[in-house]
Structure 1
């Protein structure tokens, strides 16, 4: 990595004194899951496209650094990725591309082992780089990797809200609980939003959420879970994936589209942060600037 870019990513490179005043605060939402295969990326991509369709200025970050596929899901062909940013071949602004409904996308690279093996300081540095982005935004969706790696924990910690996607499989519930436990005990994340994915009906979605609540209430007394909604098993969604287009755009009347749009309406009401929490945080400089103005 080039020395200048490495300094940025490890948070040792000072911001330019001639920078423009930062834009307003951004609501940041990390979408994650304890295990792979729960539909996390489809929820992230479609949620971002739905929010953009509602007029929200939306940025979608592919934070699955080693096995990225947001660009594939949305049928995009990026010229640059986060790997180019880390290597010093491109700036963050140069990495951003436009997707469906005008959503802005920060693509990552797939099959780049060194990206999956970035050091913790570099994960924090990637978070801090977003403070230099001068675009006016309302919300950023972060599609994390699966599991409890440092990158997942850091990106969830740096977001205002963490959405955990679960499906009705014992391993999904077990791994979601493990992720929530680590986020709570190691990163201080004590408020979790839950989306039940690939369910047969709303009752199954609610029952799935209640299962997770019972486990967490038994062992994690300081964690608050909230039911954000459910997304049904839907052949239209599967078809949209095959066609590399978001279901909310390609089949807006599909059951999955209606469900995701409802989740988007709920998240659209969440307010941007008004004060820093302390620690690593996306768009931290904007939050500090907003607090100084107030």
Structure 2
């Protein structure tokens, strides 16, 4: 697979291109709805923020988006988006809720499946952590909500069990590995995530989305991870794009501004919009200036 380098600025037009990516038409050919499993090799890389930006950007273009918070401990996406869900996906354990019970409308085109602790279960069940089989079973039930969607974004955070539990798998599903550090430890963490996932799901395509870096800095981050994957895993990674550091957005969110208002027009949101539009159009970014 050829890897190109820097996304063109501006908004890429939507198309229903066939291939690995694709909207409703592409999903029919690849056996599922386009699904992005957003994950990081270490905490603090920004998977929750980027998951929200990707989902909100696609929903703003009229695409029907299902956003899933795969964290069954904290579940930060509901707080980020300013909604109060009645139930979380962990309430699906034991049949205490249906998939529709855990679907929280955020807008006309965006639906959130919240994470965090169970809300409808009895106290004893709520205190018992999900095991791997239960997590997988709950996620399979959640996946039925995707049938009416154009895009699914899953925030898996930095937990490998959350990533593995969220993999369905199907032909239109991809791991989006977030790299937020150009330091050796950060790069190694992203590589380790890719390695751990492909060892169990060798056919799962892997993209690298570089966070808090632009241009040649982002390109160097991607190149370092891709070189390791090629040499030791025989795996070619794809560069999904780069999201710049955005202190204004960070400050607005810390001040309590509603997410859509804080993100609107921000550099990070514009870059995330470019990324998700290319995903839905089935296009790769160009390599100069990533």
Aligned mates of 1:135, 1:231 — CA distance in 2: 29
1:176 paired with 2:190, answer yes
The one of 32, 42, 47 equivalent to 1:35 is: 42
What is the DSSP-based 3-state SS (H/G/I as helix, E as strand, rest coil) of the residue aligned with 1:80? coil
Summarize deviations over 1:31-84 as a string: whole Å, max 9, x none.
Answer: 111111000110001100111011111000111122211101111111211232
Secondary structure of the 1:205 match is: helix
Residue 128 (1) aligns with residue 140 (2)? yes
State the match for 1:10 in structure 2: none
1:81–1:106 CA contact under 8 A, matched in 2? yes
Partner of 1:209: 222
Q: Confirm or deny: 8 A CA contact 2:99 2:145 kept in the other structure.
A: yes
The structure-2 alpha-carbon separation of the partners of 1:51 and 1:78, relative to structure 1 and needing over 3 Å to count, comes to same
- The answer on 1:54 being equivalent to 2:67 is no
Higher relative contact order (CA closer than 8 Å, sequence separation 6+): 2
Aligned residues: 245
1 CA distance for matches of 2:128 and 2:262?
32
Deviations 1:66-105 (A, max 9, x none): 2211101111111211232225432110111111563100
The 5 A counterparts of 1:80-229 are: 80-86=87-93, 88-100=95-107, 102-110=109-117, 117-130=129-142, 132-133=144-145, 136-149=148-161, 151-156=162-167, 158=169, 160-168=173-181, 169-199=183-213, 201-221=214-234, 223-229=235-241
Report if the CA contact (8 A) 1:75-1:244 is conserved: no
Question: Secondary structure in 2 aligned to 1:158?
Answer: coil
TM-superposed CA distance for 1:145, in Å, is 3.1
Report the Cα distance in structure 2 between the residues aligned to 1:116 and 1:215, rounded to whole angstroms. 39
Structure 2: 5+ residue stretches without partners: 1-26, 120-124, 284-290
